[in-house]
Amino acid sequence: MKSALQHAGGTLKVVFLDRDGVINRDSPDYIKSWREFEFISGSLSAMARLTRAGFTLMLISNQSAVGRELISRPGLARLHYRLGIAAAQAGGRIRDIFFCPHLPDSHCHCRKPATGMLQQASAKYGLDLSKSVFVGDSVTDIRCAQAAGCDKSILVLTGNGSIASRDLTRQAPGPDHVAADLAAAAEWILDPSPSSAA
């Protein structure tokens, strides 16, 4: 039986994923190379499960390390290539990666919580964002999902998620669901019943 979050009609069933703190461990020094990239336990298998269930995965990530000149665009592309290979080897597929290279004070339209990256994805693939799911670990992820009109926003407690959960409790509205990690988020996406709640 299809998940209630899946939909028909030829439109892609999209799960947007933040990267740092959701798929891999975040760092205050930024992730500048593949050597520094460490998968969070269960994230690869979670992406594989979602892919097998027919969901299209896309990354939506603020990467100000580029604007800070800590990593070049080609360097980031190489890192993301390795990420895509690792996901594929585990049985998943990342369809596309959208990133904002700008600094926090740049006032760009793409840095979350702005919705520019989601709008880029929507324009490129003809997506109906109101039928998409967004998984992130920060307030900016949740606010981006809500502002773009995503159907569901899920906060994971890895990365900055514990701090974000506390902040979102004081700054309603909160996410549609809170999950321990990406593996638990995938479980809920596939079976959004009360018994699967974190």
Catalytic annotation present for 137: no
Catalytic annotation present for 128: no
The active-site residue, picked from 20, 137, 141, 176, is: 20
Residue matched to tokens 């299809």: 2
The active-site residue, picked from 18, 26, 137, 176, is: 18
Tell me the catalytic residues: 18, 20
